[in-house]
Amino acid sequence: MYIPNNDRAAEIPLASAEYISFASRNTFLGVPARHPHDLGEGRVVILGAPFDWGTSYRPGARFGPQAIRNADYGAMDGYRPHLPTGIDPLGHLGVVDIGDVYVVPGQLEISIERIADAVAMVSGAGKVPIILGGDHTITWPDAWGVARTHGFGEFALIHFDAHADTGYSQNDSLAAHGTPMRRLIESGAVPGHRFVQIGLRGYWPEPEVMEWMDRHKMRVYRMDRIVDLGLDTVIDEAVEYATAGGAKGVFISVDIDVVDPGLAPGTGTPEPGGLGSRDILDSVRRLSRELNLLGADIVEMSPPYDGRGEQTAYLANRIVLELLNGMAERE
């Protein structure tokens, strides 16, 4: 285990741009800033994990948290009344933002532990953590951190992605953006039978890995199956599956590459033929309305590859808002 040669840094699980140059400099749409040891009365805490050293191809997701927080044309006033419901989910849920985890560039293990500690701190305080990534490696510490509070094997994980992310290793590393779901299953944090994956397509992983997933009873909805069944039916089944066997709640992980790269090009491993923007927004809102959301992350948003209109950052921002709207409607 790497210990940084800096006692002050080692004590700080969270940090602003004071410590890492690519950390966010403001809060999500201007919601109140809080400190992890003083989270206040609200139900939801936003935090960033500007980590992209688990990436196998195009990097850049370290700039995701800042881009997602800022992608909006409105005032940074922490107030966003939703047209369909009239609810301002930011105010209704008392959403606050504690900034970005002090991840250490190039250091996988210490960064992962710090992310897990920060998420566990939020979860342990009875709040719902929403983590802005970062590459998909972070879902390992994100869901692991939630499991430290809510119990190993006690909740479902609904995973939107073009890729399964169940590889054993990538470039001989167990921690990488193609392996987090395998780590969660192996550790017992989220057993295979509590996984629902939506949107898989393309040319990875190989058949042996798909067989491993089958053996672990993961529920997988590939894009071709979604086209056959219709997305509404898939979400109906996901809700049913996620509550089966007494699961306490759900963690939702959205890899932005589940959306077609024509609509969301700002990502590291684009795979054509994905969901539409409307599809993902409606799906996450429905899931957080119908299920007990214990945590969520939005990952793989890579600003250097985004379009001139910053459409991927805008979409990621709205995915967070729709998740929050669903939660607010549920109450």
Note the residues at the interface with Mn ion (CB under 5 A).
136, 161, 165, 255
Token pair 């606050």 is found at 96
- The smaller minimum CB distance to Mn ion, of residues 90 and 259, is found at 259
CB of 269 vs Mn ion, minimal distance in Å: 8
Q: 290 is written with which tokens?
A: 């119908």
CB of 255 vs Mn ion, minimal distance in Å: 4
- The smaller minimum CB distance to Mn ion, of residues 14 and 156, is found at 156
CB of 51 vs Mn ion, minimal distance in Å: 13
- The smaller minimum CB distance to Mn ion, of residues 31 and 181, is found at 181
Token pair 């990875």 is found at 204
CB of 213 vs Mn ion, minimal distance in Å: 14
CB of 300 vs Mn ion, minimal distance in Å: 6
Cα(305)–Cα(266) distance, integer angstroms: 4
CB of 197 vs Mn ion, minimal distance in Å: 10
- The smaller minimum CB distance to Mn ion, of residues 255 and 271, is found at 255
CB of 165 vs Mn ion, minimal distance in Å: 4
Whether the Cβ atoms of residue 199 and residue 163 lie closer than 8 Å to each other: no
- The smaller minimum CB distance to Mn ion, of residues 165 and 290, is found at 165
- The smaller minimum CB distance to Mn ion, of residues 93 and 298, is found at 298
Cα(327)–Cα(44) distance, integer angstroms: 10
CB of 237 vs Mn ion, minimal distance in Å: 21
CB of 167 vs Mn ion, minimal distance in Å: 11
Cα(235)–Cα(260) distance, integer angstroms: 18
- The smaller minimum CB distance to Mn ion, of residues 97 and 165, is found at 165
Cα(298)–Cα(105) distance, integer angstroms: 20
Instruction: Give the pairing of strands 250-255 and 96-101.
Output: unpaired
